[in-house]
Amino acid sequence: MYDELKYWYLRDHKLFWTLSMSQIKQLCIITGFKKANKGDIIYFSSSDLPRIFLLKKGNIKIVSIDEEGNETIKEILQKGDLFGELSLEADDSVNEYAKVLTDEVSICSFLLSDFEDLLVRNPTLALSYTKFVGLKMKRFKNNYSNLVSKDAKTRLSSFLKDWAEREGIQDGKKYTINNYLTQADIAQIICTSRQTATLLLNELEEKNIIYYNRKEIIIDDIEKL
């Protein structure tokens, strides 16, 4: 039924370019498929069997909760991103879930064990996958240093730049971002309070550097950020 669909979903992901059709089919057989709507919560960390998920459409945020109940946004994911047990090791100690940010998302998933089998049988894929995980780590390290050495204003600017470059529609130096985040979300991402984020966003707007509303964010000249 959906097999053809799933096939293409995996097929067009960079990571799987090296795989033959039959190898992808092998993974596809065990692929789960799921749709969800804005606001839905997808639990994955303590799910029955450890899985790897692939976000095919839409945006989600990965949120974790610590012992004291503090919510932290770990990542914002877009189309094509992988999440779940990326380190290939089930881990109960982290309490994470995904929350849907856009109107409609579609997600497919496969069992960790099946993915491992595939990796063992495809060394080139294994290598690409390792590089992929390594890249993710680098991005984390980078955020980390930003948090340490930059103030909230600078972190907001880098975040907006980053977001624009990853997802915005470019027109010269002008970028238009489809805004699916609330100011509270942005605040959590740049690790500050909601109030400070509001303040800084309005400040940027007063200086005519950005134009902000709930639907979109327009950056007139990205170099001014």
Partner DNA sequence: CGCCAAATGTAAACTACCCGACATTTCATT
Partner DNA sequence: AATGAAATGTCGGGTAGTTTACATTTGGCG
- Give 13's DSSP letter: S
* Residue 170 makes contact with a second copy by CB under 8 A: no
Query: Which residues are CB-neighbours of 135 under 8 A, at least 6 positions away?
Result: none
For a second copy, the binding residue among 21, 41, 49, 135 (CB under 8 A) is 135
Nearer to a second copy, 60 or 62 (CB): 62
Q: CB of 120: closest distance to a second copy in angstroms?
A: 4
The encoded tokens of residue 30 equal 């065990």
* Residue 14 makes contact with DNA by CB under 7 A: no
Site for a second copy in 42-81 (CB under 8 A): 64, 66, 68, 70, 72, 74
DSSP 134-196: HHHHHHHHHHHHHHHHS-HHHHHHHHHHHHHHHHPEEETTEEEEE----HHHHHHHTTS-HHH
The piece of 3-11, 34-42, 45-53, 88-96 that touches a second copy (CB under 8 A) is 88-96
90 binds, among DNA, a second copy, none (CB under 5 to 8 A by kind): none
- Contact, 96 vs 63, CB < 8 A? yes
For a second copy, the binding residue among 137, 193, 208, 224 (CB under 8 A) is 137
* Residue 35 makes contact with a second copy by CB under 8 A: no
Which residue type, as a one-letter code, is found at position 67? E
Residue with tokens 């979903």: 9
Each residue 166-185 as x (binds DNA by CB under 7 A) or -, in order, gives: ----------------xxx-
